[in-house]
Structure 1
Amino acid sequence: MNGPHDTFVLRNGYEIPCIGFGTWKMPDGQEAIDAINVALDAGYRHFDTAAAYENEESVGKALRRSGIDRSELFVTSKLWASDRGYDSALKAFDSSLKKLGLEYLDLYLVHWPAAKGADEVWQKENADTWRALEKLYNDGYIRAIGVSNFKPHHLEPLMKVSEIDPMVNQVEMHPGFPQTETKKFCDLSGILVEAWSPLGQGRVLDDDRLLEIAVNYGVTVAQLCIRWCLQNNAVPLPKSMTPERIRENADVFGFDISADDMRKINELEQFGMSGLDPDEVDF
């Protein structure tokens, strides 16, 4: 990977830029528009939002006003938990598309799996939701479909009944939380992993072990974390509203982490997690 425009190729042949700009907790309004403008200038072409972020209008406005051809942009949004189900998912997608002001989405994800109650209940809810995404994909409104925060035991029953397997799974992933089991399952299933919170929401940036490795490459711990994701064949989605950090987070293509250092990072004990377990959350 030589720059943020470089791509991974999804199962259906559609290309996804190798690094994305996250917008979680980015307030709707001029602040979000300004941050996205800086990101565009820094080379980002991949933007990740969600209905639950309540900033789709600003994301769409910034991208439409950018003057960059739509075909060069990759836009993701996500279906919130309260909109799971076939009919409600179709309505929620329509709402997101209108807020973004776009004619299609590059990627649409089920934000969190239904995971509680009897197996037949939550599995049916996930399957009904997925059926809506398959329809939207087949009708041409979405270029690729996927899930977010799905563990293997959520993916397996879904893939038994799906006509189209998920192309992407977006999960929390960073040094200290490599998602080894889920990543292995996705790799074997042809599902590209995206990493939300690749910096551990800042929780891993003060780790002395990561700092020691980063210094050897002349980079920040944040840059090391983002590069680590890329070299694990995952798409990092760093988020910042600070112009200097936005640019810094895209500047991760001038070095390669050695195999030995990758092993050291991969073997770190678990730390820095958000605590949001898909099997335990109350949404």
Structure 2
Amino acid sequence: MRTRQLTLTNGLQMPSFGLGTWQQRDPDTVKRVVRQALDVGYRLIDTASVYRNEKAIGEALATAFCNQSGGLRREDVWITSKLAPKQQGYEGAMAAVLGSLENLQTDYIDLYLIHWPGASGKALESPEHRSLRQGSWEALEELYAQGKVRAIGVSNYTKRHLQEMRAYAKVTPMVNQCEMHPLCPQSELLKYCKNNGIVFTAYASLGEAALLNDNQELPELRSVACRRPDLSLAQILLMWGLQHGAAVIPKASSIARLQENMSALDKVSLSADDMDELDSVSQQHQKHFCWSAENVA
């Protein structure tokens, strides 16, 4: 099922498979993983201000682009970064994007997202969240018009947060990045995004590795694995997300895991029965391994 690009509303083609870099902060490790990912064939690198690894990623990419024998150009790699909750608001967002551009050593970022609908230091029910994220979005729209970011979107936004944007957004968010796996299928949100031209990116596709743990009670996943001995559990979970039309950005720290994850793209698709069985998981049990913004005003 070697993949496709996903088309954003402005016509840009975004890879549907990439490298997530959350929790990877050691500069040497980050640079090694990015270099290995590029060598394997990854063409989307996902980072964020709060990950504190933009600088290392920028150094790794700059080295790759300068390597004439590698033939890799800036336009060959899709870079996604995100606005931290503490940077919410018009001025904060403007400064944050300029800082990310400097750290990543690039003239433009392919996709920039508001990482979280809330702002740091505010009570969950505070009305300031809305005004601050609106200011952030207005800044991103300006930066988009200037070409400093080629696409803009959000992350961890619920359907309610997306609907609210209709009142002030001149540009509809092009992407919404959220946790998604069989225990957190995001069915309603995924449907809303599809109906409104918003590309969905799934993070934590492996349940922060908990879904790969033999102690995890997920018999449906084991059942599919028994029918598909050619697939690892990670590949099954990644294929499930891809076949639901989402982009996936699994984390990895070894060359073997990088290769294993990406080779899911070359496997025969999951059957309708496989997909139905995995879809049925959430009918009995649902779980977030990361966080939910449901209670953010």
TM-score normalized with structure 1 length? 0.94
Q: Equivalent residue of 1:33, what SS? A: helix
Match of 2:105 in 1: 101
Deviation of the 1:216 alpha carbon: 2.1
**Structure 1, 103-112 or 58-67: larger mean CA deviation:** 58-67
Partner Cα distance (1:130, 1:51) in 2: 16
1:169 is aligned to 2:181: no
Deviation, structure 1 residue 209: 2.3
Per mean C-alpha deviation after superposition, the further-off stretch among 73-82 and 215-224 is 215-224
Q: Of residues 227, 230, 244 in structure 2, which corresponds to 1:216?
A: 227
Residue matched to 2:6? 8
User: Equivalent residues in 2 for 1:120-199 (5 A)?
Assistant: 121-199=128-206
1: CA distance between counterparts of 2:277 and 2:166?
Answer: 34
Q: Which amino acid aligns with 1:105?
A: I
CA–CA separation in structure 2 for the residues paired with 1:237 and 1:258: 22
The answer for the alignment partner of 1:60 in structure 2 is 58
Query: What is the SS of the residue equivalent to 1:245?
Result: helix
CA contact (8 A) 1:229 1:235 kept: yes
| 1:66-85 equivalences in 2 (<5 Å) | 66-67=64-65, 68-85=72-89
Partners of 2:186 and 2:291 lie apart in 1 by 13
Counterparts of 1:173 and 1:55 in 2: how far apart (Å)? 23
Deviation at 1:37, TM superposition (A): 1.3
**Partner SS, residue 211 of structure 2:** coil
| Residue 262 (structure 1) aligned to one of 261, 275, 287 | 275
Distance 1:275 1:21, change over 3 A: closer
1:17 matched to which residue of 2? 15
2-structure distance, mates of 1:74, 1:14: 11
Taking the aligned partners of 1:196 and 1:94, their CA distance within structure 2 comes to 25
1:249 to 249, 252, 261: 261
Q: Give, in whole Å, the separation in 2 of the partners of 1:275 and 1:23.
A: 15
Alignment of 1:222-241 (within 5 A): 222-241=234-253
| Structure 2 residue 204 is matched with structure 1 residue 200 | no
Unaligned runs of 5+ residues in structure 2 are: 66-71
Question: Which runs of 5 or more structure 1 residues have no equivalent in the other structure?
Answer: none
Aligned counterparts of 1:272 and 1:74: Cα–Cα separation in 2: 30
RMSD: 1.6
Greater CA deviation, 259-268 or 190-199? Answer: 259-268
For the structure 1 residues 272 and 244, does the alpha-carbon distance in structure 2 shift closer, same or farther, using more than 3 Å as the test?
farther
Give the partner amino acid of 1:125.
L
Deviation at 1:99, TM superposition (A): 0.7
Is 1:117 aligned to 2:132, yes or no? no
What is the percentage of aligned positions where both structures have the same residue? Answer: 37
Distance 1:166 1:42 in 2: 30
Q: Deviation at 1:27?
A: 1.5
Contact 1:123/1:158 (CA < 8 Å) preserved in 2? Answer: no
Report the Cα offset of residue 243 of structure 1.
1.4
| Alignment check: 8 A CA contact 2:157 2:176 kept | yes
C-alpha deviation, 1:275, in angstroms: 4.7
Q: Classify the secondary structure of the residue corresponding to 1:252.
A: helix
Equivalent AA in structure 1 for residue 93 of structure 2? A
CA deviations over 1:23-59 (Å, ceiling 9, x no partner): 0001131111111111111110000000000000111
What is the count of residue pairs matched by the alignment?
Answer: 279
Aligned mates of 1:30, 1:57 — CA distance in 2: 11
Contact 2:89 / 2:135 at 8 angstroms: preserved in 1? yes
